[in-house]
């Protein structure tokens, strides 16, 4: 059905997008235009479609600079941790045009000649978008001014002080509740419906509940359970709906990957909302940089979070910290090899990765970890296919994770809840079930020293693994008050010493590591392996040496991608400064938690 319905809706969205500057931005300033609009349901629909803003392929590299992924690029959290950042250097985020467009709609929608049900549906959509907008502001600034009317140059509140986090959050969840009560359930694919509203409301209620619980600087811990209970309730409503289920065809080695490499997700039972792409109408924007060797490279720390195939902890292996590339992919949770390029994986689509197609032998480079990402990478030579791949913006899997975590935080988790949530995900991956009797993994416990519940620790592991490299990690670290984890330098592949190594898993050497003072042979003098393939040579050494790849011990150890991650200052770095120019315009605005 994708190619029938969605071409029409995408044409509308493209039209709205293309005339955005002439319509949505200018409309609030032109009352005559507003007077001639908002008269019919079609008017309401066109305007609301112009408010749609959901992640695309960019979500697959939004974990950069967290403990999930290293990056050579400029990322806000990286800048904050490595420089003397202040309100003159961190200047993004304080924008309000989108809110003005929402409030303009809400002020004018009563004019439309539509039924109360239809008007409430569209008002619910607008209020959903307003809740989404303000959650973004709360996550950056904690305290922000609340506006639910269209401001003019002489509005009394134009230069008001920020409202408290508690007040704005209450208003946000009033908007969510209105949307839950009035946005219609039965909507076309690609359109927001009640279930997506509930999914986002559950995500953000969990965010706020856990944020209040762990961030004592807010002095709001006493109200944390209010939002944790909301998260549990909202997620349960989606679960009880019955229209969604975990995508599981009985193929644990491919079902998970299919969610991120499909041309049509509109009928997938797990996908609550998909960013629909149609080749040559609305191209996906998929690109090979997601795979690696551009800026990003996944970290070993994430690899070490995956369980063994039998459900045991990787840390139970006596030599887990010194496993080589082939060893660490052996007998693991199948989701690892559907997220990371694994030994023996076939690379087909090549642009900025010069090793070529066929068996994947990763390039080693002192700027990258040596790991590569296949989740979100469209490994196909067919450009139309790459442009056609859909993005699973919100998956039912996250709803299950939210429900489990909220109840664990409330002290209400049970084996039945685990079976209905976490174990649905593990079953898809062919993994053993999580039980209430699980013992604590010392490595996982060390990551989160403020948690002493082994079940909650495993729920956090499951969330990290299931949502790996989908752009959720930074928010999770923030709400758990675990920002210090980002200070750890991201490690890459482990090499016990110089010499030859097999990277494809066939037992035949592919590369040679030489010392820093060694000379790489001329091409005609390089050794070939038993497959008559010329070995790839690298010179390894310590940071600062003129070599191809840095290792922690110079001639052995882990590949180093980012030598210095900087310092995460608590609680300051969980927030962002209001740009200095805005404080100059409105002296009533105040910075929070040490920003200047």
Query: What is the C-alpha end-to-end distance of the chain, expressed in Å?
Result: 53
pLDDT at 242: 87
Nearest residue to 139 (alpha-carbon basis) of 471, 478, 592: 478
How many domains, the chain? 1
Helix axes 97-108, 41-49, angle to 10 degrees: 170
Q: Give the residue-averaged pLDDT of 493-513.
A: 97
Q: Give the residue-averaged pLDDT of 397-421.
A: 98
pLDDT at 359: 72
Residue 19 has pLDDT above 50, yes or no: no
Q: Give the residue-averaged pLDDT of 478-484.
A: 98
Q: What is the mean pLDDT of the chain?
A: 93
Range of the domain at 546: 497-555
Per residue, what are the HEC states of 8-47? HHHHHHHHHHHCCCCCCCCHHHCHHHHHCCCCCHHHHHHH
Residue 518, in any domain of the structure? yes
Distances (CA, A) of 290 to 58, 277, 446, 490: 9, 18, 30, 18
Question: What would the two tokens of residue 16 be?
Answer: 């709205």
- The CA distance from 206 to 209, in Å, is 5
- Number of CB atoms found within 10 A of residue 13's CB: 18
Nearest residue to 298 (alpha-carbon basis) of 547, 519, 492, 462: 492
Residue 472 has pLDDT above 70, yes or no: yes
Find the farthest-apart pair of alpha carbons in the chain and give their distance in angstroms, rounded.
81
At residue 17 the predicted structure's pLDDT band, cuts being 50, 70 and 90, is very low
Helix axes 396-410, 194-214, angle to 10 degrees: 40
- Number of CB atoms found within 10 A of residue 176's CB: 26
Residue 167 has pLDDT above 90, yes or no: yes
Question: What would the two tokens of residue 289 be?
Answer: 């940089």
pLDDT at 355: 54
Q: Which range (23-27, 188-192, 343-347) has the least confidence?
A: 23-27
Residue 116, in any domain of the structure? no
Residue 533, in any domain of the structure? yes
The H-or-E segment that residue 232 falls in is helix 224-241
Residue 308, in any domain of the structure? no
pLDDT at 203: 98
At residue 289 the predicted structure's pLDDT band, cuts being 50, 70 and 90, is confident
User: pLDDT tens digits for 70-111?
Assistant: 999 999 999 999 999 999 999 999 999 999 999 999 999 999
pLDDT at 70: 95
Residue 441 has pLDDT above 90, yes or no: yes
pLDDT at 111: 96
Nearest residue to 146 (alpha-carbon basis) of 121, 176, 166: 166
Q: Give the residue-averaged pLDDT of 375-401.
A: 96
At residue 2 the predicted structure's pLDDT band, cuts being 50, 70 and 90, is low
Q: Give the residue-averaged pLDDT of 14-39.
A: 51
Residue 535 has pLDDT above 50, yes or no: yes
pLDDT at 357: 54
User: pLDDT tens digits for 176-202?
Assistant: 999 999 999 999 989 999 999 999 999
| 564-587: burial string, b at 16+ Cβ within 10 Å, e else | ebbebeebbbbbbbbbbeebeeee
Residue 212, in any domain of the structure? no
Residue 297, in any domain of the structure? no
User: pLDDT tens digits for 101-146?
Assistant: 999 999 999 999 999 999 999 999 999 999 999 999 999 999 999 9
At residue 367 the predicted structure's pLDDT band, cuts being 50, 70 and 90, is confident
pLDDT at 5: 41
- Number of CB atoms found within 10 A of residue 244's CB: 20
Per cent of the chain over pLDDT 70 is: 93
pLDDT at 505: 95
Question: What would the two tokens of residue 148 be?
Answer: 């639910």
Residue 513, in any domain of the structure? yes
Q: Which range (194-198, 233-237, 340-344, 378-382) has the least confidence?
A: 378-382
Residue 541, in any domain of the structure? yes
Question: What would the two tokens of residue 144 be?
Answer: 């922000």
Residue of 275 and 347 predicted with greater confidence: 275
Residue 6 has pLDDT above 50, yes or no: no
């Amino acid at each position: 059905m994708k190619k029938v319905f969605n071409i029409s809706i995408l044409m509308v969205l493209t039209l709205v997008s293309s005339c955005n500057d002439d319509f949505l931005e200018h409309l609030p300033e032109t009352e005559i235009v507003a007077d001639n609009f908002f008269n019919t349901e079609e008017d309401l629909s066109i305007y609301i479609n112009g408010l749609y803003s959901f992640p695309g392929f960019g979500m697959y590299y939004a974990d950069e600079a967290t403990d999930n992924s290293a990056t050579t690029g400029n990322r806000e959290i990286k800048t904050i941790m490595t420089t003397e950042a202040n309100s003159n250097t961190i200047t993004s985020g304080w924008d309000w045009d989108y809110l003005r467009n929402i409030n303009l709609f809400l002020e004018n929608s009563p004019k439309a000649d539509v039924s109360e049900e239809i008007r409430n549906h569209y008002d619910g959509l607008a209020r959903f978008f307003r809740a989404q907008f303000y959650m973004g502001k709360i996550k950056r600034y904690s305290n922000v001014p609340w506006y639910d009317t269209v401001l003019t140059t002489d509005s009394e509140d134009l230069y008001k002080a920020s409202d408290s986090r508690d007040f704005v959050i209450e208003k946000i969840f009033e908007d969510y509740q209105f949307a839950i009560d009035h946005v219609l359930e039965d909507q076309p694919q690609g359109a927001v419906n009640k279930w997506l509203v509930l999914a986002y409301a559950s995500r953000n209620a969990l965010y706020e509940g856990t944020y209040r619980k762990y961030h004592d600087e807010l002095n709001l811990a006493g109200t944390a359970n209010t939002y944790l209970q909301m998260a549990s309730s909202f997620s349960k409503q989606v679960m009880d709906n019955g229209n969604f289920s975990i995508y599981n065809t009985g193929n644990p080695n491919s079902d998970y990957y299919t969610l991120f490499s499909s041309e049509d997700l509109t009928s997938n039972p797990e996908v609550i909302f998909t960013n629909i792409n149609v080749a040559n109408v609305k191209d996906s924007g998929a690109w090979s940089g997601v795979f690696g060797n551009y800026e990003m490279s996944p970290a070993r720390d994430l690899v070490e979070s995956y369980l063994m195939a039998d459900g045991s902890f990787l840390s139970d292996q006596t030599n887990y910290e010194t496993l080589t590339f082939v060893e660490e992919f052996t007998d693991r949770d199948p989701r690892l090899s559907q997220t990371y390029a694994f030994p023996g994986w076939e690379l087909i689509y090549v642009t900025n990765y010069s090793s070529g197609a066929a068996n994947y032998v990763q390039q080693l480079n002192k700027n990258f970890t040596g790991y590569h990402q296949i989740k979100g990478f469209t490994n196909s030579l067919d450009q139309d296919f790459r442009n056609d791949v859909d993005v699973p913006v919100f998956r039912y899997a996250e709803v299950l994770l939210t429900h489990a975590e909220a109840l664990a935080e409330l002290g209400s988790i049970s084996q039945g809840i685990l079976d209905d949530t976490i174990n649905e995900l593990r079953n898809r991956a062919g993994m053993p079930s999580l039980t209430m009797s699980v013992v604590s993994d010392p490595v996982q416990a060390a990551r989160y020293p403020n948690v002493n519940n082994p079940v909650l620790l495993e729920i956090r592991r499951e969330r990290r693994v299931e949502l790996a490299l989908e752009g959720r990690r930074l928010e999770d670290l923030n709400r758990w008050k675990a920002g210090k984890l980002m200070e750890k330098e991201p490690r890459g592949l482990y090499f016990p010493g110089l010499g030859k190594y097999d990277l494809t898993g066939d037992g035949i050497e592919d590369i040679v590591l030489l010392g820093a003072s060694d000379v790489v042979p001329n091409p005609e003098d390089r050794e070939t392996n038993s497959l008559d393939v010329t070995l790839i040579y690298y010179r390894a050494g310590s940071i600062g040496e003129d070599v191809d790849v840095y290792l922690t011990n110079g001639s052995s150890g882990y590949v180093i991608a980012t030598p210095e991650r900087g310092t995460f200052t608590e609680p300051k770095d969980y927030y962002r400064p209001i740009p200095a120019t805005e404080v100059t315009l409105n002296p009533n605005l105040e910075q929070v938690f040490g920003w200047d």
